[in-house]
A and B are shown apart, each in its own frame.
Chain A
């Protein structure tokens, strides 16, 4: 809890993957500081390494070089101070919803009763009070993802890592879930780092947007979103941020603008 090193500090992180005959450099010299309680969105084209960066933060992948520090302490492997919400809900189909949420707590050594009690509390928070006993296959995609979020929050991490958690939802549900996520972030006073391919989602939720490009030579771009919350998608300043972000991806170029922007809109 030293004042000098609060938050998450990523320094000179490199990562490459071995291909058949060459190496694919995914992340090069990534420097990033994330303050405690901040909401950071990471966007970028597919293959830009955004999920890899998140997996390194979670401890699921290891960086080739560089350091990651959380509140001044070096981060190695997985740890209960970092929780993850995956793109697919990844619930255990044989466990009830509450037992799924309780699992993380049980793995931290909580008794089953305590774990279940806390699990129910977090299920209440995500609006699933009526579904304690349901099995995952009885849930819709949005509900299953809420369980995933409750499971992440339940272990009271310092930082919640979200890997395109709303990517598979339809447009209406997505907007609902974005509002819910913002509410949870505010109420839980937690740091959230979310990978997304959805530019509007990033502007709606994030304090800062990190833009990863496929071009490894260029430095990491970071855009601060200075808009009061809750944000309105129709707000002219919101639209201006959207334009600016589209520009960084060269999606507003006149030549084949229509084709490319349509393509991004429909990316799964």
Chain B
């Protein structure tokens, strides 16, 4: 992509009047929309690379990107990060899965029945406002220093955004649509299935994406405190051993994981909510 950009630049500045080969031209054309969109990212990494190689920043602290990428490739090839990636995925997967299994049904129930919401809301608000990290020592005392306490602290942080957004989604159902369904003979259960749940889905996905972010945040925090494996642990460990390229490699891995998770959720949402993306006539 950088090469194409340079090519483009050369063309515009008319340094080079030879016609561009069609492949490059096609590639440049294909990249143009992305070029605008990701310009800031490209500039950021470009500056990083420059600053580090030219010595504006201490390369021992901020290594150039090529060394970070090499460290990442090496670690992936020799499998030294494989165990860490596996355990991190397992922890976040179990916690996120448990959040989905608990928050969505509970949220649908709380959104549908005022009495359940009134009973549970105060205690859930109290739990929600208590930082998961502050409770981590408590979870360690209760569940030990093993996997259980780590998964539980991640679950604690990821369950509330999903729960709150599910409740909101249910409560924001257009009452006029509910009334319409009733006129056509829908029972309470049919109204729930045909009107309430579908109309809550966009809001549930907002919750899922917030939850995924919290999951990753707490995954790293939990792995930095009292773990001996995991990507978060590797960030700390590499820093400890002054392997800054490896440290950044692990950080990039976490960022990539976050982006991938978000991308997948957006993809699923687009699939489920095709009606939202259709253009108006």
State which of A83, A86, A94, A151 has its C-beta within 8 Å of the C-beta of B176.
A86
Indicate if the CB atoms of B278 and A94 lie closer than 8 Å. no
Contact B198–A84 (Cβ < 8 Å): no
A104 near B184 with CB under 8 A, answer yes
8 Å CB contact of A79 from B185, B195, B201, B276 = B185
Instruction: Report whether B279 and A138 are in contact in the complex, using a CB–CB cutoff of 8 Å.
Output: yes
Interface assignment of A257: CB less than 8 Å from any CB of chain B: no
What chain B residues lie within 8 Å of A94 (beta carbons)? 198-199, 201, 273, 275
Determine the distance from Cα of A86 to Cα of B179 in the docked complex, in whole angstroms. Answer: 10
Chain A nearest CB from B203 CB (Å) reads 13
A59 to B185, CA, bound (A): 11
B residues 180-201 near A (Cβ < 8 Å) are 180-186, 190, 194-195, 198-199, 201
CA distance A80 to B194 in the complex (A): 18
In the docked arrangement, what's the CA distance between A41 and B250, Å?
72
B interface: dominant SS: helix
B176:A104 contact, CB within 8 angstroms: no
Bound CA span A78–B184, Å: 8
Q: Does A155 contact B (CB under 8 A)?
A: yes
A108, closest chain B residue (CB): B185
Q: A86-B180, A90-B180, A92-B194 are in contact. Are A107 and B278 (CB under 8 A)?
A: no
Give Cα A84 to B194, complex, Å.
18
* B177 contacts chain A at the CB level, 8 A cutoff: yes
Complex CA distance for A83 and B185, rounded to whole angstroms: 10
Decide if A117 is an interface residue (CB 8 Å cutoff).
no
1/0 contact trace for B29-67 toward A, CB 8 Å?
Answer: 000000000000000000000000000000000000000
Q: Report B-chain residues with C-beta under 8 Å of the C-beta of A134.
A: 281
- A95 and B281 alpha carbons, distance in the complex (Å): 16
Task: Determine whether the beta carbon of B185 is less than 8 Å from that of A80.
Answer: yes
Give A233 Cβ to nearest chain B Cβ, in Å.
30
Is B6's beta carbon under 8 Å from chain A? Answer: no
In contact, A155 and B280 (Cβ under 8 angstroms): no
Among A60, A95, A103, A138, the residue within 8 A (CB) of B182 is: A60
B281-A60 in contact (CB<8A):
no
Partner of B179, one of A60, A83, A107: A60
CB distance from B269 to the nearest CB of A (A): 12
Query: Does A93 sit at the interface, judged by CB under 8 A?
Result: yes
Instruction: Kindly identify, within residues 88 to 115 of chain A, every residue whose CB is under 8 Å from any CB belonging to chain B.
Output: 88, 90, 92-95, 103-104, 107-108
Most chain B CB within 10 A, of A80, A93, A136, is at: A93
Which B residues lie within 8 Å of A143 (CB)?
281
Closest residue to A86 on the B side, CB-wise? B180
CB pair B278–A137 under 8 Å, yes or no, is: yes
Q: A60 and B183 in contact (CB under 8 A), knowing A94-B275, A135-B278, A138-B279?
A: yes
Residue A73 at the B interface, CB < 8 A?
A: no
Q: How far is the CA of A78 from the CA of B198 in the complex (A)?
A: 23
What residues of chain A lie closer than 8 Å to B278, measured between beta carbons? 135, 137-138
Contacts of B279 in A (CB 8 A): 138
Shortest Cβ distance from residue A134 to the other chain B in the assembled complex, whole angstroms: 8
Specify the main secondary structure of chain A where it touches its partner: loop
Q: Are B185's CB and A88's CB within 8 A?
A: no
Known: A135-B275, A138-B278, A139-B281. A90 touches B177 (CB 8 A): yes
A-chain residues with CB within 8 Å of residue B281 when the two chains form the complex: 134, 138-140, 143
Interface status of A58 (Cβ within 8 A of chain B): yes
Interface contact A137-B182, CB-CB below 8 Å: no
CB A146 to nearest CB in B, in angstroms, measures 13
Residues of A with C-beta under 8 A to B181: 103, 107
Which residue on chain A has the smallest CB distance to residue B194? Answer: A103
Q: Which of A83, A136, A137, A138 contacts B184 (CB 8 A)?
A: A83
B176 to chain A, nearest CB (A): 5
Residue of A nearest to B201 (CB): A94
Residues of chain A contacted by B186 (CB below 8 angstroms): 107
Closest residue on chain B to residue A161 by CB atoms: B183
Other-chain contact of B183, A78, A88, A138, A140 (Cβ < 8 Å): A78
Within 8 A of B (CB), among A32-76: 58-60
| Contact residues in A for B198 (Cβ distance below 8 Å) | 92, 94
Interface pair A78/B185, CB less than 8 Å apart = yes
Which residue among B177, B179, B198, B275 has the maximum number of chain A CB atoms within 10 Å of its CB? B275
Contacts of A155 on B, CB cut-off 8 Å?
184
B154-186 interface mask toward A, CB cutoff 8 Å, 1 = contact, 0 = none? 000000000000000000000011011111111
Question: Can you identify 7 A-B contacts, CB atoms within 8 angstroms?
Answer: A59-B183, A78-B184, A103-B184, A134-B281, A135-B274, A138-B280, A143-B281
Given A79-B185, A93-B276, 17 additional A-B pairs, CB 8 A: A58-B183, A59-B183, A60-B179, A60-B182, A83-B183, A84-B183, A86-B180, A92-B198, A93-B275, A94-B201, A103-B184, A107-B184, A135-B274, A136-B275, A137-B275, A140-B281, A155-B184
Q: Would you list the 9 A-B pairs with minimal beta carbon distance, nearest first?
A: A104-B184, A90-B180, A135-B275, A138-B281, A94-B198, A94-B275, A107-B185, A84-B183, A135-B278
